[in-house]
Chains A and B, each alone.
Chain A
Amino acid sequence: MSQFVMPSLGADMESAILMEWHVKEGDHVTKGQVIAEVETNKGVIEIEVFEEGFVEKILVKEETECSVGTPLAIIRTEGEKPITKEAPQSERIKVSPAARKKAKEMGIELSSLAEGTGEIHLSQIETTSKPLSNTSQPSGMRQAIARAMSRSNAEIPHYYLTTSINMTPALHWLEALNATRGIKERILPAALLIRAVVLALKTVPELNGFWENDAPNISPAINPAIAIALHKEGLITPALLNADSMGLDETMHQLDDLITRTRAGKLRNTEITQQTITITNLGDLGVESVFGVIYPPQIALVGLGRIMDAPWAEGDALCVRKVMKATLAGDHRATDGRTGAKFLEKLNDLLQHPQELL
Chain B
Amino acid sequence: MTQEQIKSAIIEQILEIAPDIDEADIIPDKNIQRSLEIDSFDFLKILMNLSEILGVEVPESDYAKVDTVDHMCAYFMEHR
Contact = CB atoms under 8 A, between A and B. Distances in A.
Interface of A: 175, 178-179, 182-184, 186, 188-190, 229, 231-232, 255-256, 259, 284-286
B51 to A, nearest CB: 5
Contacts of A188: 40-41, 44
Contact of B39 (A175, A184, A232, A284): A284
B48 A184 contact: yes
A188 B40 CA distance: 7
B20 A178 contact: no
24 contacts: A175-B60, A175-B61, A178-B60, A179-B61, A182-B57, A183-B44, A183-B47, A183-B48, A183-B57, A184-B48, A188-B41, A188-B44, A189-B40, A231-B19, A231-B20, A231-B21, A231-B37, A232-B20, A255-B41, A259-B41, A284-B33, A284-B37, A284-B39, A284-B40
B58 interface: yes
Contacts, number: 39
User: Which 6 A-B residue pairings sit nearest by Cβ, starting from the closest?
Assistant: A231-B20, A284-B39, A183-B57, A232-B20, A188-B40, A183-B51
Contact of A186 (B21, B39, B44, B61): B44
Contacts of B47: 183
Interface of B: 18-21, 33-34, 37, 39-41, 44, 47-48, 51, 57-61
A183 B58 contact: yes
B56 to A, nearest CB: 10
Contacts of A178: 60
Nearest to B50: A183
Given A178-B60, A183-B57, A190 B41 contact: yes
Given A175-B60, A231-B20, 6 more contacts: A179-B59, A183-B58, A231-B19, A231-B21, A284-B33, A284-B39
A255 B39 CA distance: 13
B60 A186 contact: yes
Contacts of A175: 60-61
Given A178-B60, A179-B60, A183-B47, A229 B41 contact: no
